[in-house]
């Protein structure tokens, strides 16, 4: 286990409505939820995070049915990003443990809309405004 003692998981707070943020669930399946990430990139499409409903620190302890459910939901999100935002492609990634760049100790996938030549791995993320988040959420809520 890498999560600190008495870890106050931000994803568990979101799922239990204890979060003070304006995060809204956009997608939901049997074992997973999808919500808009807090950061965006100027040159590429939105990012949706897919998190397990139940708290699992990382992929190693995830039951197979949750793995399958999370990736099916990620596929649906990728299609929604492609159709609603006309992205040229998508990237799906997931981090495990500190050496794997994990910094939130709750299993989740990132589904990122990509544009040709977006230089995703070179650009700097910025905090999305409330208006940007509302616009993206409204567009993606049509997909479930």
- What pLDDT is attached to residue 30? 97
pLDDT at 66: 98
What residue spans define the domains of the chain? 10-140
pLDDT at residue number 20: 60
Which residue is it, tokens 């990430």?
Answer: 37
Based on the residue annotation, tell me whether 95 is a catalytic residue of this protein: no
CA pair distance 26, 36, nearest whole angstrom: 7
Within 86-121, residue ranges assigned H as helices are none
pLDDT for 81: 92
**So what's the pLDDT on residue 16?**
86
Q: What is the pLDDT of residue 22?
A: 66
CATH 3.30.428.10 fits 10-140, yes or no: yes
Select which of 2, 95, 106, 108 is catalytic.
108
Res 129: pLDDT: 87
Q: How far is CA 100 from CA 4, 39, 105, 132, 141, in A?
A: 17, 20, 12, 30, 31
Its pTM surpasses 0.85 = no
**Residues of the chain under the 70 pLDDT cut:** 18-22, 40-43, 123-125, 143-144
């Amino acid at each position: 286990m890498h999560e600190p003692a008495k870890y106050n998981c931000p994803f568990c707070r979101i799922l239990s409505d204890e979060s003070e943020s304006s995060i809204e669930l956009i997608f939901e399946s049997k074992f997973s939820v999808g919500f808009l990430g807090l950061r965006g990139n100027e040159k590429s499409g939105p990012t949706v995070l897919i998190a397990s409903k139940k708290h699992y620190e990382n992929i190693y302890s995830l039951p197979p049915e949750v793995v399958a459910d999370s990736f099916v939901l990620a596929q649906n999100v990728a299609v929604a990003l492609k159709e609603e935002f006309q992205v040229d492609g998508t990237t799906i990634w997931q981090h495990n443990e500190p050496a794997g760049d994990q910094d939130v100790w709750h299993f989740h996938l990132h589904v990122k809309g990509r544009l040709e030549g977006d230089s995703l791995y070179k650009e700097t993320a910025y905090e999305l405004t409330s208006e940007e988040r509302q616009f993206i959420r409204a567009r993606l809520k049509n997909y479930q």
